[in-house]
Structure 1
Amino acid sequence: MCLFIVFALFPIFDQLKLNKKNMLLRTEAHYLLYEKLTAFADGEIEAVSIEIQRQNHLFTLNWGVPNGFPEMVEGCIQYQNAFGKREEVCDATKK
């Protein structure tokens, strides 16, 4: 019975823990993105790429112009998830 717990349940719990961490990282990335897009739309910041350190994780904010929409500016937040994979969240706002 003990071996069953070690070999079957612990990997499942570990996977659940990593999935929860990924969900929290993605939520933080969305929060940062919309915080920066709102600040840009309100004229509080310029569209300058920066790195943001939050909760021991590095998030990179990059700006650009979405294809076909020159009146818009696109912000993208990149970060590394709990599995070591690079993730990106993007959205746009009016200039």
Structure 2
Amino acid sequence: MPWLFLLLAVAAFAVALNASSMALAVICLLVALAGTVAWVLGLLAQRVGNQSRDDSMMLDPMELKRLRDEAEARRAAAAVTDTAPGDTARG
């Protein structure tokens, strides 16, 4: 779809170059400017849309809580194994 705006802008610019009326040339130049801006915005919107995440991959709050609880349990287990009884420092 953005390429149609570019085609419109090029056609309007070509008409502006060949126009014998100043009013027609100004109108065509404005249309060419608007088409170019629409083309650039369309390309940007397309790029953002392609890089966005899939909504179906989002986690619900219950799943997120379960993952946090699992991570907390792993951290607690790692902390217990790091402080084993035979690891006392003598000073």
**TM-score range with shorter-chain normalisation?**
0.3 to 0.5
Structure whose CA Rg is larger: 2
Greater helix fraction, Structure 1 or Structure 2: 2
**TM-score normalised by L of structure 1:** 0.31
Greater strand fraction, Structure 1 or Structure 2: 1
